[in-house]
């Protein structure tokens, strides 16, 4: 699995690779926030079992749960946005590279190979690459007919590729 991730990160440009690394770091913080709920649950259960229910303990449990949930929501938002931007920009850059390469092929290649076949191979390759990021490249975004812009429906934000 780590080999595949290394290949994917090597495939990306430096800017997009940094976005994915940032998303991984945010994922670790997200896991820590999830784990913060365990001590809160322990504190709540031990408080009830010891018959030591006080306002201070109730506020501590509530505060710990609330803070961990809010931080987790914020971290998840930024992590998914980094993954989405990095994935779409990587795909766009690779499509441009393929197009640039196709511009320099001899005309005889296009006489021998149908345009449908070329399009099919390019599209299928990009779809397979899109699955390497765990599907995060495609969350909440769609192709805008105005050309080149993608809109994140959850964040009400557009970015240019």
User: Per-residue confidence of the chain (161 residues) as pLDDT tens digits?
Assistant: 788 878 888 888 899 999 999 999 999 999 999 999 999 999 999 999 999 889 999 999 999 999 999 999 999 999 999 999 988 898 888 888 888 888 888 888 878 888 788 778 777 766 666 555 454 444 444 444 444 434 444 443 444 44
CA distance 65 to 42: 12
Q: Specify whether the CB–CB gap between 150 and 87 falls below 8 A.
A: no
Q: What are phi and psi of 119, to 5 degrees?
A: -65, -40
């Amino acid at each position: 699995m780590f080999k595949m991730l290394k290949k994917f990160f090597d495939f990306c440009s430096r800017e997009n690779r940094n976005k994915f690394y940032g998303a991984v770091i945010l994922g670790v913080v997200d896991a820590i926030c999830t784990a913060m709920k365990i001590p809160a649950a322990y504190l709540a259960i031990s408080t009830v079992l010891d018959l030591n229910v006080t306002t201070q303990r109730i506020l501590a449990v509530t505060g710990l749960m609330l803070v961990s949930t809010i931080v987790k929501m914020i971290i998840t938002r930024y992590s998914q946005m980094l993954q989405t931007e990095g994935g779409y920009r990587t795909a766009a850059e690779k499509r441009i590279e393929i197009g640039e390469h196709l511009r320099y092929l001899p005309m005889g290649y296009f006489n021998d190979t149908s345009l449908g076949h070329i399009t099919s191979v390019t599209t299928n390759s990009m779809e397979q690459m899109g699955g390497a990021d765990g599907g995060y490249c495609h969350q909440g975004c769609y192709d805008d007919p105005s050309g080149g812009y993608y809109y994140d429906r959850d964040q009400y934000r557009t970015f240019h590729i």
